[in-house]
Structures are given as structure tokens and as C-alpha cells.
A and B are shown apart, each in its own frame.
Chain A
Amino acid sequence: MNAEKHPPVSLGTYLMVWLALLALTALTIAVASMHFGAWSVLAAIVIATIKGTLVLLYFMHLRYEDRMFRIMLLLTLFTLAVIMLLTFVDVLLR
């Protein structure tokens, strides 16, 4: 059945999130052109993660949904992380 319903998110919030996403895109391009070596890989992944989180929380409404949705997502990402970790352990220590 319908759980508690959140009121419509204000359109201004969406606009701000969109501007933040565009700004972060510009930032990640700027950082990449500075050649920080291995750090630029980390920076690109961190910025992409922030952007993805913004989309998930605001555009995909996870912030306003039941907590269960966030737990399910984290469980999925945890599973993916375990698979990646184990694969890397195998590849690097072989």
C-alpha cells in the first residue's frame, strides 16, 4: 500500500542540483587537464561519485523515499564492491 507520501519537491531544488552537476562536470574536466598523475584518476572517480549521488538522492528521490530504498541500494553497491575487491585481490596477488 502507499507508504507516507512526500510533498512534491520544489522545482528550484531540481534547478540547483542541475547547476551543481554542470559545475562538477566542468570541475572534473579542469582537474583532468592539470595532470596530477595517479591523483587525477582518484579525483575523477570521487567527482563522478558525488555527481551520481546527487542524481540518486534528488532526481531519483532517494532522499525522500523510505529508508529501505537506500539500504537496498547500499546492499547492491556493497555486493559490487566485494566482487571488485575479490577480483582485484586475485589479479594483483596472482
Chain B
Amino acid sequence: MSTPTHEYHPDSTGSKIGMWLFLFTELLLFGGMFLLYAVYRVKNPADFHYASLNLDTKTGAINTAILLTSSLTMVLSIGMLERRHRKASLWFLIITIGFGVWFLVNKYLEWSHKIHHGIYPGSEELTGRTAGENLFYSLYFLMTGLHGIHVVAGMVVLGVMVWMIGKPHHRVLPVTTLPVDAQAHAVSVTVEYSEDAKLDQQKLIRLENAGLYWHLVDVIWIFLFPLFYLIS
């Protein structure tokens, strides 16, 4: 902010570039793991095939549908804020977080089912099986686990957005912003949230960036799902 006055100009392109640069580092992080998966798969095709048969396609498909739908409610929340429907935007955000919870509950049930059957990295059951199967399950827990952490992080970010959009915003402006004939009677002007275009703009930029993160987590799952649950 170089201007000395109270005026400030939200820079939507600048903050989006920052967000995307961060997302690129996330793509490279997961990209490295996909590479690891691909190399080990090429080296152990039969073991990977056999191990992936034991993952429940139905759970994976349901979780895919949940995340895709949560992406829809995310963009609807942004669309509603763009159209100045603050309440609707809030509700869509809360629904999005709800889908995140549902996804994680399914993931928890799936993992505990596997662990209950003695399938977890370093378990007695797995050490008795082939190296390929061990690699498959290690990558499965590592990649879906890291993805799950990203879902949790996304939910925290969305929670902050709920708080930010939900709290009523007032800004006190100088009396000189009033029409001249009204200035004599006023001490200050309080601007309500919905009338303050600049605050609105700033919140919208933040919500859009939060949405970008949520969608990236969805994109990563779009690739995780077929690689672990379907390819066999």
C-alpha cells in the first residue's frame, strides 16, 4: 500500500498468482509421489494388480462423488458472494466443510478396516507378503494420508472463511464522504458490510483463493482414485 490515505486497492491478480505458485509446489509434491507409484508399478505389475483388488471400489467411488460435489458447493459459495448473497454463500461454505467431514469419516472407516485386517506399513501380515504388495500399501497409506491432511487443511481454511464472511463488518469513514447537507449533523459514518464494495472485494479474493486450494485437493483425488482403486 503506497497510498497514504485510507484508500486501498485489493489486487486480485497479484494474490491469485501467489496462490497458484503455491498450488504448483503442491502439484510437484504429489507429482513426485505419482512418479514413485508409476515406477514401482512398472516394476511390480502383478503385485500391484493383486493388491489393488483388495481396495473397495465402492468406498473410493463414493468419496470421489463427495469431493466432486463439494467442489460444486465451493464454486456456488463463491458465485453467491459475487452476487452479494452473503447468507447463501455462507451456507454453501458450511455444506462444503460438511462434505469434507463426510469424506474423512469414510477414509477413517476404510483405513481402520485395513488396519483391523493387519494391513498397515510394517505389519506382520504385510511383511509376509511380496515386496510389490508392500510398496503398493505403503504408497496407498502415504498418498491418501497426505491427501487427507490436505483435506483437513482445506477445511480449516474454509472454516476461517466462514468466520471472515460471517462476521459483520463496519468501517468508519470520514464525515466528508457524506453529502454536504448531511455533514453538519453527523459525527462519523459507519459503513455496513454489504455496502462496502472494497471489503467485499477483499473477502471475495480470499474466498476465491481458498476455493482454488479446495479444488486442487479435488484434482489430486481425481488421479488418486483410478490409480489405487480401479487399475487392476
Q: Are A2 and B231 in contact (CB under 8 A)?
A: no
Interface residues of A in 63-82 (CB under 8 A from B): 65-66, 68-69, 72-73, 76-77, 79-80
Interface residues of B in 43-77 (CB under 8 A from A): 43, 57, 61, 64-65, 68-69, 71-72, 74-76
Residues of A within 8 A of B208 (CB): 61
Q: Are A32 and B230 in contact (CB under 8 A)?
A: yes
| B169 contacts A by Cβ under 8 Å | no
Residues of B within 8 A of A93 (CB): none
Q: Are A59 and B75 in contact (CB under 8 A)?
A: yes
Find the A residue at minimum CB distance from B226.
A44
Q: Among A14, A29, A60, A66, which residue has its beta carbon within 8 angstroms of that of B13?
A: A66
| B108 contacts A by Cβ under 8 Å | no
Q: Are A18 and B69 in contact (CB under 8 A)?
A: yes
Interface residues of B in 10-31 (CB under 8 A from A): 10-14, 16-17, 20-21, 24, 27-28, 31
| B197 contacts A by Cβ under 8 Å | no
| B42 contacts A by Cβ under 8 Å | yes
Quote the shortest CB–CB distance from A33 to chain B (angstroms): 8
Q: Are B230 and A28 in contact (CB under 8 A)?
A: yes
Residues of B within 8 A of A59 (CB): 71-72, 74-75, 211, 215, 218
Residues of B within 8 A of A68 (CB): 17
Q: Are B24 and A21 in contact (CB under 8 A)?
A: no
Q: Are B39 and A88 in contact (CB under 8 A)?
A: yes
Q: Are B20 and A29 in contact (CB under 8 A)?
A: no
| B1 contacts A by Cβ under 8 Å | no
Task: Give A76 to B68 CA distance when docked, in angstroms.
Answer: 24
Q: Are B82 and A8 in contact (CB under 8 A)?
A: yes
Quote the shortest CB–CB distance from B40 to chain A (angstroms): 10
Q: Are A48 and B222 in contact (CB under 8 A)?
A: yes
Q: Among A22, A51, A91, which residue has its beta carbon within 8 angstroms of that of B65?
A: A22
Task: Give A87 to B71 CA distance when docked, in angstroms.
Answer: 33
Residues of B within 8 A of A88 (CB): 38-39, 42
Q: Are B223 and A48 in contact (CB under 8 A)?
A: yes
Interface residues of B in 61-117 (CB under 8 A from A): 61, 64-65, 68-69, 71-72, 74-76, 79, 82-83
Per-residue CB contact flags for chain B residues 115-138 toward chain A (1 = under 8 Å, else 0) read: 000000000000000000000000
| B227 contacts A by Cβ under 8 Å | yes
Residues of A within 8 A of B164 (CB): none
Residues of B within 8 A of A21 (CB): 68, 71
6 interchain pairs, CB-CB under 8 A: A2-B9, A2-B10, A32-B57, A52-B219, A76-B24, A83-B35
